[in-house]
């Protein structure tokens, strides 16, 4: 076999014309324009000075570049180098100046930018609803919760390997500590704040602020039925009190599911739970969470009870905590709040507390205000547990967000990094809209790395004919039809003001 035959007769020259790389970025740029994002940013960043490059256009282009994989400001050239397709694009120094102006504007300018993104979101969600019939529901095990918008609060640590302003020691090392809120229905970030590294995980003021901004970011018609989740690290009395107040508004429904500490009173309650009160938990397929026993028979499909070990159970602790011998131990907490516990067999090597080591179960608790008599599958303990466990999906949003601008910050100044953070969140939002408005199948669920290889980084040839400019994707590129379909769908979106 001739493994080097492809080299024979191959020449490399630099005289090609009409060639465009990263052609798929045109989809994101067109999406920003069609939804009114670019126009909204232009108005938000309007200046009395005469500028060669509109700052709204610069920020929208920077978001597109970050979505395409830009990690530093110099990567912004990915668009400037494709002048034949994108026309005049700001230079790298101009992009720096735009970030500097945004940073100098502080909260006032940040609020205007958020308003522009939120206005564009109304247009994008109208398009998503028009295409799919509704905003996607919330997946809970094998069920889908329709008509509810789920907000997931979580913080993450972004390590910094240089002395950046705000980078401080924290429980995971040294860096910054952003806090954000993601919409589980669409996968987009709704609000976030870039905090110093020493910021606490359960800082109630930060959580309440971000939650308020996230709710305000939703189109008005989607604010009436909400689900809010937060892990135990971010839970606090003040946050639950705020959630309870939001849930009590007339004409509104808000169900929260928040992590809860395993303290002395909870340990006493768990000890008092009768064995028959522990109900079997389910996995993400809606099936019983169990595994084969070590001494099981050879038939892996058998139904022998002794051959299967139940791995997780759920039980409610509310009555034991409120009506036990010690009296109401939840006095001061909302009357509608319920506390649940889940026990599961630990993975090999897992570290257990002394309490857990006594019976070999690992325990985790959470609090929710889901009404006790909720009908159907939603009110079953197994699904109440599953609805809280899927909060972990926000970790995927954070992970892909770190691949889309929030994992690296280009400046030593915190104000500049906050401006970059804004552009990165906008980039993640554009990718979410692209998936829901224009893509199908696996591409509609693809992570940024996959979208870049298959769609955004695709090469093409520019051809001019009859006063028209045509972008020709290679006919042999497997995803060329998907790119063409996506372009047609985006350009069919009604132009927002």
Distance of CA 376 to the CA centre of its chain: 29
Query: Of all helices (H) and strands (E), which one includes residue 290?
Result: strand 290-292
Q: What angle do CA 392, 393, 394 make, to 5 degrees?
A: 90
Which residues, 6 or more positions from 101, have their beta carbon under 8 angstroms from its beta carbon? 45, 47, 55, 109
Which residues, 6 or more positions from 273, have their beta carbon under 8 angstroms from its beta carbon? 315, 317, 320, 341
Percent of the chain predicted with pLDDT > 70: 97
Which residues, 6 or more positions from 37, have their beta carbon under 8 angstroms from its beta carbon? 31, 60, 116, 117, 120, 426, 430
Helix 92-132 vs helix 55-67: angle between axes, to the nearest 10 degrees?
70
292-301, 349-358, 372-381, 467-476: which is most confident:
372-381
Six-digit token pair at 47?
Answer: 């200046």
How many Cα atoms sit within 13 Å of 281 on the Cβ side? 28
Closest CA to 256 of 151, 127, 106: 151
pLDDT for 8 equals 85
Provide the 10 A C-beta neighbour count for residue 86: 18
pLDDT for 16 equals 84
pTM over 0.85: yes
β-bridge pairing 253-260 and 225-230: parallel
Q: How far is it, in rounded angstroms, from Cα 238 to Cα 423?
A: 31
**Widest pairwise Cα distance in the chain:** 88
> Residue 424 pLDDT > 90, yes or no?
yes
Pick the residue with more confidence: 279 or 467?
Answer: 279
Which residues, 6 or more positions from 297, have their beta carbon under 8 angstroms from its beta carbon? 304, 307
pLDDT for 68 equals 96
Torsion of CA 430, 84, 81, 414, to 10 degrees: -40
> Residue 428 pLDDT > 90, yes or no?
yes
Specify the range with the lowest mean pLDDT, choosing from 109-113, 242-246, 454-458, 466-470: 466-470
Provide the 10 A C-beta neighbour count for residue 415: 17
DSSP string computed for 398-459? HHHHIIIIIS----SSHHHHHHHHHHHHHHHHHHHHHHHHH--GGGGG--HHHHIIIIIT--
- pLDDT band at 1; cut points 50, 70, 90: low
Six-digit token pair at 385?
Answer: 């547990």
User: Tokens 């929260």 identify what position?
Assistant: 256
> Residue 391 pLDDT > 70, yes or no?
yes
DSSP-assigned beta bridge partners for residue 310: 290
pLDDT for 466 equals 75
Asked if 305 and 280 count as a contact pair (C-beta separation under 8 A), the reply is: no
Six-digit token pair at 40?
Answer: 């909204």
Beta strands in 128-234 (DSSP E): 138-140, 143-145, 149-155, 158-159, 168-170, 173-176, 179-183, 189-193, 225-230
DSSP string computed for 299-338? -TT---GGGEEE-EEEEE-HHHHHHBTTB-TTTTS-TT-E
Asked if 405 and 59 count as a contact pair (C-beta separation under 8 A), the reply is: no
DSSP-assigned beta bridge partners for residue 280: 313
Q: How far is it, in rounded angstroms, from Cα 428 to Cα 182?
A: 10
Q: How far is it, in rounded angstroms, from Cα 157 to Cα 153?
A: 14
pLDDT for 305 equals 64
> Residue 200 pLDDT > 90, yes or no?
no
- pLDDT band at 111; cut points 50, 70, 90: very high
Closest CA to 183 of 113, 248, 125, 123: 125
pLDDT digits (tens, 9 = 90+) for 160-182: 887 889 889 887 788 999 999 99
> Residue 433 pLDDT > 70, yes or no?
yes
Phi/psi for 316 (5° steps) reads -95, 135
> Residue 79 pLDDT > 90, yes or no?
no
50-54, 321-325, 476-480: which is most confident:
476-480
Q: How far is it, in rounded angstroms, from Cα 67 to Cα 49?
A: 29
pLDDT for 308 equals 63
Percent of the chain predicted with pLDDT > 90: 73
Query: Of all helices (H) and strands (E), which one includes residue 390?
Result: none
Asked if 88 and 401 count as a contact pair (C-beta separation under 8 A), the reply is: no
């Amino acid at each position: 076999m001739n493994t080097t035959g492809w080299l024979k007769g191959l020449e490399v020259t630099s005289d090609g014309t009409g060639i465009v790389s990263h052609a798929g970025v045109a989809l994101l740029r067109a999406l920003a324009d069609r939804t009114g994002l670019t126009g909204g940013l232009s108005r938000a960043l309007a200046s009395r000075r005469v500028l060669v490059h509109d700052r709204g256009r610069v920020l929208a282009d920077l978001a597109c570049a970050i979505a395409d994989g830009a990690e530093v400001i110099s990567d912004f050239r990915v668009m400037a180098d494709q002048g034949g397709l994108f026309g005049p694009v700001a230079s790298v120094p101009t992009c720096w100046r735009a970030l500097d102006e945004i940073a100098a504007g502080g909260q006032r300018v940040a609020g205007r930018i958020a308003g522009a993104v939120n206005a564009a979101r109304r247009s994008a969600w109208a398009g998503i609803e028009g295409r799919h019939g509704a905003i996607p529901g919330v997946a809970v095990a094998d069920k889908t919760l329709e008509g509810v918008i789920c907000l997931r609060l979580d913080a993450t640590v972004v390590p910094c390997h240089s002395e950046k302003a705000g980078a401080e020691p924290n429980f995971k090392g040294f860096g910054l500590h952003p806090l954000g809120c993601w919409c589980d229905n669409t996968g987009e970030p709704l609000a976030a704040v870039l905090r110093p590294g020493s910021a606490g995980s359960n800082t109630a003021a930060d959580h309440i602020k971000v939650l308020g901004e996230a709710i305000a970011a939703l189109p008005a018609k989607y604010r009436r039925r909400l689900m809010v989740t937060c892990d135990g690290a971010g839970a606090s009395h003040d946050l639950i009190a705020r959630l309870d107040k939001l849930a009590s508004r007339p004409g509104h429904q808000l169900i929260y599911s928040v992590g809860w500490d395993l303290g002395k009173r909870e340990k006493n309650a768990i000890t008092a739970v009768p064995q028959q009160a522990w109900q079997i938990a389910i996995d993400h397929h809606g099936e019983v969470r169990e595994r084969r026993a070590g001494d099981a028979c050879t038939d892996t499909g058998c139904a022998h009870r002794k051959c299967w070990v139940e791995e997780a159970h759920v039980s409610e602790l509310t009555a034991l905590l409120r009506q036990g011998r010690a009296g109401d131990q939840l006095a001061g907490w909302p009357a509608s709040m319920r506390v649940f516990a889940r026990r599961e067999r630990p993975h090999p090597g897992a570290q257990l507390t002394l309490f857990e080591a006594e019976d070999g179960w690992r325990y985790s608790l959470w609090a929710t205000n889901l009404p006790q008599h909720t009908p159907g599958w939603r009110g079953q303990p197994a699904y109440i547990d599953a609805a809280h466990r899927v909060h972990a999906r926000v970790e995927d949003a954070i992970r892909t967000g770190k691949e889309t601008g929030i994992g690296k910050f280009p400046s030593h100044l915190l104000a500049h990094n906050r401006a970059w953070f804004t552009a990165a969140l906008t980039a993640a939002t554009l990718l979410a809209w692209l998936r829901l408005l224009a893509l199908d199948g696996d591409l509609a669920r693809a992570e940024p790395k996959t979208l870049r290889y298959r769609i955004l980084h695709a090469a093409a040839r520019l051809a001019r004919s009859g006063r028209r400019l045509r972008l020709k994707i290679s006919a042999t590129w497997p995803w060329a039809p998907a790119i063409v379909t996506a372009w047609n769908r985006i350009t069919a979106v009604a132009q927002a003001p």
